[in-house]
Amino acid sequence: MTTTLKQALEAPSIYLPTQARIVDARPMGNTEKVLTIELPKGVSLNHRPGQFVEVSVLGVGEAPISISSSPSRSNGTFEVCVRKAGDLTSVLHQMGPKETLGIRGPFGRGFPYERFRGKDILFAPGGLGLAPLRSLINQVLDERGNFGRVIILYGARDPSELLFMDEVRQWQSRSDTEVHLSVDRGDDSWKGNVGVITTLFPKVEIYPRNTVGITVGPPAMYRFVLMEMLGKGLSEGNIWMSLERRMKCGVGKCGHCQINHLYTCQSGPAFSYAEIKHLEEAL
């Protein structure tokens, strides 16, 4: 019988990381690196899109990082996309194959994938927000027959900050998927749309009663994307996002991630707009 990482963690302590091994490390964008991580034999991550893991390096620290690979493509490993932001993430950027790190999780409740079945899906990732959404996008594409239309609107600050472009091109080449890209600032090579992600919304036709909108990106983006989605007629319960808060324990004990009565690490980080719109500090 396979033990899930969560079961392995439950005994003896939720704070005990499982030792995992990097099997691949590839640079991406100006400040990001994608790590492929392998858990010990017989332990599976068993995650849902939208969940995160706590990644640690001995003597350096621990940080929450979204799981970027899709459960439908797990193959005994999983991927994270790490932006160099400070102490731990800088060390992760220096690490490569065969080196070990600690993993706790998966944590958070993720996106309610089953509720999305049968719907049209409008994805609107911004910048590094594609890393967590990629997990859900690839799962939806791997089970394409269970969904209606799939539309992806992806924006970044400039062309060099568009992530996972090899996969984005594959999505663009599919006849069953509509993909639009935009950058805030173009360069000589860029022939596509220039403008913030909201400038892509007028390009797509949406049937609001059967559409789920999902956005992940920098907090400043959310208000504007929300206005577009609500303006297109999507219901508040059908608009989903991921809230990033300072997290420490990841398991509802320390209170670092609290918004009003909610612990983001447990109740989220994926929330529908209907769930958080009354919470003053949420957006």
Ligand X SMILES: Cc1cc2nc3c(=O)[nH]c(=O)nc-3n(C[C@H](O)[C@H](O)[C@H](O)COP(=O)(O)OP(=O)(O)OC[C@H]3O[C@@H](n4cnc5c(N)ncnc54)[C@H](O)[C@@H]3O)c2cc1C
Site of interaction with ligand X (CB under 6 A): 52, 61, 63-66, 80-83, 85-89, 128, 131-132, 244-247, 269
Q: How far is the CB of 259 from ligand FES (least distance, A)?
A: 10
Q: Which does 63 bind (CB under 5 to 8 A by kind): ligand X, ligand FES, none?
A: ligand X
Task: Identify the CA nearest to 39 among candidates 12, 4, 80.
Answer: 4
Which region among 15-23, 33-41, 94-102, 253-261 touches ligand FES (by CB under 6 A)?
A: 253-261
**Which amino acid belongs to residue 87?**
D
Reduced to 3 states (helix: H, G, I; strand: E, B; else coil), residue 42 is coil
Residue 47 near residue 106, CB atoms below 8 Å: yes
Beta carbons within 10 angstroms of residue 101's beta carbon: 22
Closest distance between ligand FES and the C-beta of residue 15, in Å?
11
CB of 221 to ligand X, least distance (A): 14
Of 211, 245, 240, which Cα lies nearest the Cα of 225? 240
CA distance 27 to 96: 11
CB 99: neighbour CB atoms within 10 A?
13
- Choose the contact partner of 25 out of ligand X, ligand FES, none; CB within 5 to 8 A by kind: none
Of 43 and 81, CB closest to ligand X: 81
Q: Which does 256 bind (CB under 5 to 8 A by kind): ligand FES, ligand X, none?
A: ligand FES
Shortest Cβ 145–ligand X spacing (Å): 29
Out of 112, 159, 208, 252, the residue judged to bind ligand FES by CB under 6 A:
252
| Among candidate residues 153, 149, 151, the one with its CA nearest the CA of residue 118 | 149
